[in-house]
Structure 1
């Protein structure tokens, strides 16, 4: 009997083991779901911080690291999977609970792993590939002569007997412009070559640097710890596997052996070709190239180009003879013709024309060809009407050669350096900066570059114009510029003259001591504390830097950027920086912020603090007392501090919110309403008039975003994003008293029970992971500027209230709409029955499970 009972007990144990696990999973499901959501919330907070960092670090020539991109995609996928689990739990099927409990525990472990992998301590971006297959921006080919030059080069590329082509000619004649057109043409015509690569050669040929540029262009990697010879061997081995490519080396100043760099010799067998551009004919000969000289424009082409740029209607008969003489002084060089003609645009007094001719003749008399070119370009610089655009152009010379300079970053420097000052607020300062850059672009002293959406804008200097500005800054004002020349130590001491006004050592590899961004410096010398005239201290991306000496004496400092540095505490003496306008403390290792320090920085316009820390929090009253503050990104202690910060809503000084451009509310657990009923309708005109970006995420208590009446103040809103507000039911709530909303200039109009609303500048609408969202708006929305709609994780949302333009009675997409991203396309309804057919080509279905 005992043996039988023992056997039965063993059988029961065997049977109960899996059943017991199922019961455990069944009972603990709600508890585990809460844990999963909390952990996922932390991961999403990290995702938001990483996306904020990306906004800072991304600029032209940079791209997001593949591991970062993959991590962000995995987070998005995880959000979709958890949303699916939420829906199954909500359905409440008893038999599924055990399976779901087991799945939730698995997801908790995966979320923990995802959080660990998202700890990106280094930069999130890498240098972009110079050979990326995008069309290079270029100008229109000028004159038949230039066209013949280009066709001669193309003929050599098509000729199997020519393997290396050397394009040479005086600076400013158009070599690079012609080759950019050739490059773009090769991207389209792939009949003879599979690949075309563009590399700009450093002026002083540094083998390591050039090897790195070529490897990047071919999407290859080389070890930085190997010698030049080993790197050359590795590069050669990798390139030898490639066939049918054209390698363009732009702006070479000296010859080198291809094998020293690691470039295989172009042959009939590999079907590759090498093209180089240079000012020096001898470089073509020594590199074994077939020479093609880029010819100057004819006199007739010179005059036609000059007339086109100066304005044909402005050259009256009494000016024409002088104008022709000025055109001749340009030496038939396109760059000189364009810049000088633009500098004379709008001049109608023939005395000024005669004076300009005399200045040109005197400045170019008795000097060599390149000296004449510099003087011709300097003429355009001198004839800028205002001193400030001249200073702006000199600032551009602080950047490395051929560098794409982000407009926003450059204007920040101009503000910090005092070139832009005396404006009423930061927005006005940026407007002034953009106006100056536009003036320099119109004068052809800077070139404008933009991405395909025109969202990101840069400027770029022609190398000859940079040479001219460096010539000016070698005398007065005196600059020391060693930017992007692969330095591994400080410049020699004799270069550090007493009358230096500005020093640029950016984009180098100095390892120990440096006072500029994106370097690996570990120590900042105590002598930095004595630089009393310093206006900007930029240590962005110095992740090895742990300590900054006292800044108490740097009372002239206007900009301090410590973002992505390794500092653990803020520098001593910060409270003395009464002139400071820009402070970036987005540093993940920073441990504490001393109380009361920000309230003493009364000139602050921009303040950013690392937001994912548990200790880096600021009192709402301390931020609110900064009356000049226009941009704040950081973490307040709690709801009370947020109330203190936003107390101006009830009795706002109008100017405080008139200049607000971007508002992001993140992880405010007790936020239940953005503006309570009736307040929006009574706000003074002008409030939020500058607001372009509104983002709310991780606010679990808010149910309705705002009343429709607030739209009266949001005429300039461009970007609206709502994420992870799990109680959100409606985005735009109908006003309780519509008669108080409507006015003569209103962007609202009545239509039956609901108003038709207009957001005329809205470009991006994103609604993600709002499980209770049932309505965007119960009326109709007119948004003709809309470019992107993103809706996912909103299972209850069935209707998109977008009014589509009608053509012959049939709907058409909003004119600028590019993409609709959603996981529930089939379930969505639109205002017009034919809307789905019209919008289908723009849909990008996203699977979230």
Structure 2
């Protein structure tokens, strides 16, 4: 073959290939266009997923990576281009000659454009795979100082505040001490210093640390590292200190506040240095003790925080009790009580909040008498009257349940965020609320008691939703009362531990991290009902016989613990009712022998399979495995054996077995839950929607968080008791439909086969729904259409969020009855390119029709 023939053949191949492509555009123009729609939906889903991750990252105060932002912007552009093409394609003229002939030119152009856009969609989707969407940017203020709710700018405090700020501006001073008795307001003043220093731009960064009476250096170092964005991967405290010093050198001007120091603290060992390379670093220390600041911590200036002046104390008390302070019959006793509080803010606030709703003069007279009669108790660094006022406030509750719950809180470490759900578990285990048959009733009781304690200032709002905290002074008083009256002990050191080892009267013991502490081979406390152990070093092991002398134990909580296997002495705990484990325990088989257990809560790492022996716990009422993030296998019949189980919390990683797939099963089926006739609360993710049976258990649920065909992201954890997320094809006989009727928050994804949400999902009108979110759906045309509307619809709906619904035409396509959408306040719509009109829904929000009784 000569050269010309070879060239000719190549040209012919190219021509034929081009001709083939062009013919392919003409022949497959419809399928090319149809194939683009699912590609766009997949990209929309991917973008929604990334946006959820971005939203979760921002809620966690993280900065978003620029390349992630760029990807979202590009994906928006391509989606908009694709949606416009799909919309316009429906109007393109594909025939000519009055419909007798195909319009080859239009078909060719549309088909080719569909392929080109499809390639762009695929390319951007493939690029949207990120290990992390954000990063932690170190904030200017880190720690509890970012909030100073409740600070009162008293005249007597201004001189102290000014003195501290002037010392911070003095280049010759780098260590300032603030001292005063417990409850006088040192912490609040330190937080106000940070606020004013920020305003004056004195420092670039502020680091607020709480040390407390029994500091654990490793915990303080970990807290510092987290707040500085430093990852510590070593256990050695000295090496960690070196790393922290190097990290602090990167900051030019830093103020470190160390709150509540009780004794000398080795700052150099901790990781805080004041060498020539850290001249911009200053330290503000607070303590109850002048000598600790002056002698042990070498502060260059010590500033006292004094008690309030008489008029300030009275004004603060009157501000809290309100109009009661103006009543002449109450005023004399009020003034006596204010005097008893000795100008200490913590005492004033606690007593005033306790009395603020008491109109009976006899109650005020009784309070005065109780203050005079009570015997003072000495606590280091605390005025006797502080103790008296806090103890009186506790007794005034006149509730053993509230007092017991309060004392239970004192067994947690200082400044700890205590989960209310944990208090419920401990309370049930200790039978604090009598012989309640239902966990949900106990939950309601605990929430009521917690509110009373917060209203009396005996508990504070925690830093996170569902948590509470204790003021350090109030905790000190509670620890003392718990030990004196209830034999409940917080172990502070090895001496405390040795004293309690063989003590018959101990009822509760809390064991935090203690340096150089080894547990005894056998703990002899025959009347002990509760045992806490937390924040222990990895090398600490529990001896095999440790629990043999604790036969009356009712509650065990072990957190931050590491075991290959639980000690065999657990077998002696026949009366144990509540067990919570957090950390790493590789083998928990022995738990199956604790036959009287009512509550089991596991939060374990590297834990993939629940032992079948757990199915022996036939008295179990609550099983919480939600934080076992690696759990995949729950053997068949384990859950169904728990006949009286009331509450079940499972992680999204469980791999549910397909119903009736085979006689030999290795994992749990959803239908097993139908045998749990007492189950009323369920948190579960069921990824494969095809495995759903009729699930009769759904009928009995009072509270639930259920995802079917999907899973919940951080942005979907609303404050609602019944939450449902669906990403499935519509089936007429699936049991989940009862969940639709009762749910308060509903998240819908693809929902194949659904075109009209109201008629096809709940013809009763979603009477309980408060929040509705619909995303990534290409079939739904209406939220409400005329068919099936008999009464009011969405009567208590508060928010509706619609996005990426390319075929949605209208939210409402009918005349609505009165009472519909009465509570609607938020409407969010995005990427719904065929939506015709939102005006009606906005008019409904602004000018709702009158209720029947208003006409």
Q: Which interval holds the TM-score relative to the shorter structure? A: 0.7 to 0.9
Partner residue in 2 for 1:403: 416
Determine whether 1:702 maps to 2:754. Answer: yes
Unpaired runs of at least 5, structure 2: 90-106, 493-509, 543-556, 658-667, 706-718, 849-855
Report the Cα distance in structure 1 between the residues aligned to 2:397 and 2:156, rounded to whole angstroms: 31
Partner residue in 1 for 2:804: 769
Determine whether 1:251 maps to 2:272. Answer: no
SS in 2 for 1:331: coil
Partner residue in 2 for 1:276: 285
Shift of residue 292, structure 1, vs aligned partner? 0.7
Residue correspondence of structure 1 range 128-277 to structure 2 within 5 A? 131=142, 135-141=146-152, 143-159=154-170, 162-187=173-198, 189-217=199-227, 219-225=228-234, 227-256=236-265, 258-265=267-274, 270-277=279-286
SS in 2 for 1:394: helix
SS in 2 for 1:150: helix
Report the Cα distance in structure 1 between the residues aligned to 2:117 and 2:8, rounded to whole angstroms: 31
Report the Cα distance in structure 2 between the residues aligned to 1:165 and 1:226, rounded to whole angstroms: 31
Select between 687-696 and 69-78 the one with higher mean Cα deviation.
69-78
Shift of residue 293, structure 1, vs aligned partner? 0.5
Shift of residue 444, structure 1, vs aligned partner? 1.2
- Give the counterpart of 1:384 among 397, 402, 410: 397
Residue correspondence of structure 1 range 627-706 to structure 2 within 5 A? 627-635=678-686, 641-645=692-696, 648=699, 661-671=721-731, 691-706=743-758
Report the Cα distance in structure 1 between the residues aligned to 2:530 and 2:73, rounded to whole angstroms: 45
1:486·1:509 contact (CA, 8 Å) conserved in 2?
yes
1:483-522 per-residue CA deviation (whole Å, 9 max, x = no partner) reads 8965689763299451333233344553676863455555
Report the Cα distance in structure 1 between the residues aligned to 2:558 and 2:71, rounded to whole angstroms: 35
SS in 1 for 2:558: coil
Determine whether 1:435 maps to 2:448. Answer: yes
Report the Cα distance in structure 1 between the residues aligned to 2:730 and 2:189, rounded to whole angstroms: 61
SS in 1 for 2:758: strand
Report the Cα distance in structure 2 between the residues aligned to 1:269 and 1:225, rounded to whole angstroms: 24
Shift of residue 281, structure 1, vs aligned partner? 0.6
Partner residue in 1 for 2:520: 493
1:525·1:549 contact (CA, 8 Å) conserved in 2?
no
Partner residue in 2 for 1:841: none
Partner residue in 2 for 1:599: 640
1:513·1:521 contact (CA, 8 Å) conserved in 2?
yes
1:782·1:802 contact (CA, 8 Å) conserved in 2?
no
Report the Cα distance in structure 1 between the residues aligned to 2:776 and 2:574, rounded to whole angstroms: 48
SS in 2 for 1:139: coil
1:205·1:254 contact (CA, 8 Å) conserved in 2?
no
Partner residue in 2 for 1:819: none
Report the Cα distance in structure 1 between the residues aligned to 2:145 and 2:839, rounded to whole angstroms: 37
Unpaired runs of at least 5, structure 1: 681-686, 742-747, 749-756, 815-849
2:633·2:654 contact (CA, 8 Å) conserved in 1?
no
Q: TM-score, normalised by structure 1?
A: 0.74
Inter-CA distance 590–530: structure 2 relative to 1 (3 Å threshold): farther
- Give the counterpart of 2:670 among 619, 625, 630: 619
1:547·1:569 contact (CA, 8 Å) conserved in 2?
no
Inter-CA distance 194–594: structure 2 relative to 1 (3 Å threshold): closer
Determine whether 1:561 maps to 2:601. Answer: yes
1:664-723 per-residue CA deviation (whole Å, 9 max, x = no partner) reads 1433224479999xx99xxxxxx9897421222342222221249969775553321123
1:213-271 per-residue CA deviation (whole Å, 9 max, x = no partner) reads 33433x34153327444444443343334234332221122334544444343999955
Partner residue in 1 for 2:649: 608
1:511·1:522 contact (CA, 8 Å) conserved in 2?
no
Residue correspondence of structure 1 range 363-378 to structure 2 within 5 A? 363-364=375-376, 370=382, 372=384, 373-378=386-391
Report the Cα distance in structure 2 between the residues aligned to 1:9 and 1:279, rounded to whole angstroms: 96
SS in 2 for 1:567: coil
Select between 519-528 and 166-175 the one with higher mean Cα deviation.
519-528
Select between 61-70 and 472-481 the one with higher mean Cα deviation.
61-70
1:513·1:523 contact (CA, 8 Å) conserved in 2?
no
1:755-814 per-residue CA deviation (whole Å, 9 max, x = no partner) reads xx664451x4222332222222235797686565443342222333565589xxxx9899
Determine whether 1:510 maps to 2:555. Answer: no
1:538·1:562 contact (CA, 8 Å) conserved in 2?
yes
SS in 1 for 2:757: strand
SS in 1 for 2:209: strand
Select between 283-292 and 709-718 the one with higher mean Cα deviation.
709-718
Shift of residue 440, structure 1, vs aligned partner? 0.5
Shift of residue 279, structure 1, vs aligned partner? 0.9
Structure showing greater radius of gyration is 2
Partner residue in 1 for 2:830: 792
1:149-207 per-residue CA deviation (whole Å, 9 max, x = no partner) reads 333333433455544321100111111112222223333x1444344332222543444
Report the Cα distance in structure 2 between the residues aligned to 1:232 and 1:118, rounded to whole angstroms: 29
Report the Cα distance in structure 2 between the residues aligned to 1:49 and 1:655, rounded to whole angstroms: 25
Report the Cα distance in structure 1 between the residues aligned to 2:768 and 2:632, rounded to whole angstroms: 38
Shift of residue 419, structure 1, vs aligned partner? 3.5
Partner residue in 2 for 1:8: 8
Partner residue in 2 for 1:833: none
Shift of residue 356, structure 1, vs aligned partner? 5.8
Report the Cα distance in structure 2 between the residues aligned to 1:582 and 1:734, rounded to whole angstroms: 44
Aligned residues: 761
Report the Cα distance in structure 1 between the residues aligned to 2:524 and 2:43, rounded to whole angstroms: 56
SS in 2 for 1:726: coil
Shift of residue 445, structure 1, vs aligned partner? 0.5
Report the Cα distance in structure 2 between the residues aligned to 1:45 and 1:80, rounded to whole angstroms: 15
Inter-CA distance 105–694: structure 2 relative to 1 (3 Å threshold): closer
Residue correspondence of structure 1 range 530-609 to structure 2 within 5 A? 530-540=572-582, 542=583, 544-563=584-603, 565-586=605-626, 587=628, 589-609=630-650
Report the Cα distance in structure 2 between the residues aligned to 1:355 and 1:16, rounded to whole angstroms: 102
Determine whether 1:460 maps to 2:477. Answer: no
Inter-CA distance 30–320: structure 2 relative to 1 (3 Å threshold): closer
1:673·1:705 contact (CA, 8 Å) conserved in 2?
no
Report the Cα distance in structure 1 between the residues aligned to 2:78 and 2:426, rounded to whole angstroms: 45
SS in 2 for 1:370: coil
Inter-CA distance 660–171: structure 2 relative to 1 (3 Å threshold): closer
Inter-CA distance 242–429: structure 2 relative to 1 (3 Å threshold): same
1:96-117 per-residue CA deviation (whole Å, 9 max, x = no partner) reads 3443454466467546x56xx4
Report the Cα distance in structure 1 between the residues aligned to 2:339 and 2:346, rounded to whole angstroms: 13
1:489·1:510 contact (CA, 8 Å) conserved in 2?
no
Inter-CA distance 14–636: structure 2 relative to 1 (3 Å threshold): closer
Report the Cα distance in structure 1 between the residues aligned to 2:558 and 2:802, rounded to whole angstroms: 40
Shift of residue 386, structure 1, vs aligned partner? 1.0
SS in 2 for 1:504: strand
Q: TM-score, normalised by structure 2?
A: 0.73
Report the Cα distance in structure 2 between the residues aligned to 1:462 and 1:786, rounded to whole angstroms: 40
SS in 2 for 1:181: helix
Shift of residue 89, structure 1, vs aligned partner? 6.7
Select between 149-158 and 162-171 the one with higher mean Cα deviation.
149-158
1:410-449 per-residue CA deviation (whole Å, 9 max, x = no partner) reads 4455455544566686655443322211110111111235
Inter-CA distance 244–21: structure 2 relative to 1 (3 Å threshold): farther
Report the Cα distance in structure 2 between the residues aligned to 1:151 and 1:266, rounded to whole angstroms: 27
